[in-house]
Amino acid sequence: MAARLKFKCALALFCLSANLFPAISLQGTSPGTDRVLCLESAIARQAETAPLPSGKRHFAPLFKVRILNRYPHDPCAFTQGLIFANGFLYESTGLNGKSSLRQVELQTGRVLKKYDLPSQYFAEGLALWHGSLIQLTWTSGKGFVYNMHSFAVEREFSYSGEGWGLTNDEKSLVMSNGTEELIFLDPSTLARQRSLRVLDNGEPVRLLNELEYIKGKIFANIWMEDFIAMISPRTGEVTGWIDMSALRGELPPASGAEALNGIAFDAEKGRIFVTGKLWPLLFEIEVIKQ
């Protein structure tokens, strides 16, 4: 616990000194209030329960990205989950009192439909299964199943521990909880089926965040890193790392952009979209070898 507290304090001080969380303007609040909101919710609360990062990683082959397209993205959206279906983006945004489920127009970034969660919930990962959207919450131990078209809540479900990322591998729902563990859920009952440790050359890969299943691999954001891990859903082994740092140079310097988070896959056209928390842009990318 002492080591975790030390990490939390050091991270908060680093973010303050490096101005990683500059003031942003959210409707109805002052820049100072927003700064406190981002620091308290995104650092103090999340880092408090996060495991410590492992040491050196990235043993698996490295890849880089080519930017194919840029699209507008709501700079006030604290992106926690992202999917693409039926020509639209569906997004889960976090922070207590600001968590939502959204349908977003790709070309314009315009929010077409929005459901606001009760203020006690900090929304997290999002997945699609047979016409229903499944959304996690961070520390409440509760998830929600929505009708994809109306956003009506169809049911609620419970799980132990924290909820971070969520996807499906065409057979099960796959959930992350901020550790090196992936948890597989029965998509019908939402009961736990099994778990899988994610390793890179035997080293645990912790802080697994937003997830997306792409062509037989689970793509995972790593909290506070500009890398995406490509993971075998069978073995848990990291088969490659995607260096996303080039995207930082595409963001306006004063945008207030926070952690890289949000991966969506257009299975019909083979397109990959990525964004981040409070990012003003969403990118279509191509993954290429270093």
pLDDT digits (tens, 9 = 90+) for 111-150: 999 999 999 999 999 999 999 999 999 999 999 999 999 9
Residue 9 — very low, low, confident or very high, per pLDDT cuts 50/70/90?
very low
Residue 40 — very low, low, confident or very high, per pLDDT cuts 50/70/90?
very low
Do the Cβ atoms of 131 and 146 come closer than 8 Å? no
Q: Is pTM beyond 0.95 here?
A: no
Give the pLDDT confidence score for residue 15 in this predicted structure: 39
Residue range 151-167: mean pLDDT, rounded = 97
Residue range 193-222: mean pLDDT, rounded = 97
Is the pLDDT confidence value at 97 over 50?
A: yes
State how beta strands 62-72 and 238-243 pair.
Answer: parallel
Distance of CA 178 to the CA centre of its chain: 11
Residue range 173-184: mean pLDDT, rounded = 98
Is the pLDDT confidence value at 47 over 60?
A: no
CATH class label, 53-289: mainly beta
Mean pLDDT taken over the chain: 85
Is the pLDDT confidence value at 8 over 50?
A: no
Is the pLDDT confidence value at 31 over 90?
A: no
Kindly report, as residue ranges, where domains of CATH 2.130.10.10 are found in the chain.
53-289
Residue 199 — very low, low, confident or very high, per pLDDT cuts 50/70/90?
very high
Give the pLDDT confidence score for residue 170 in this predicted structure: 94
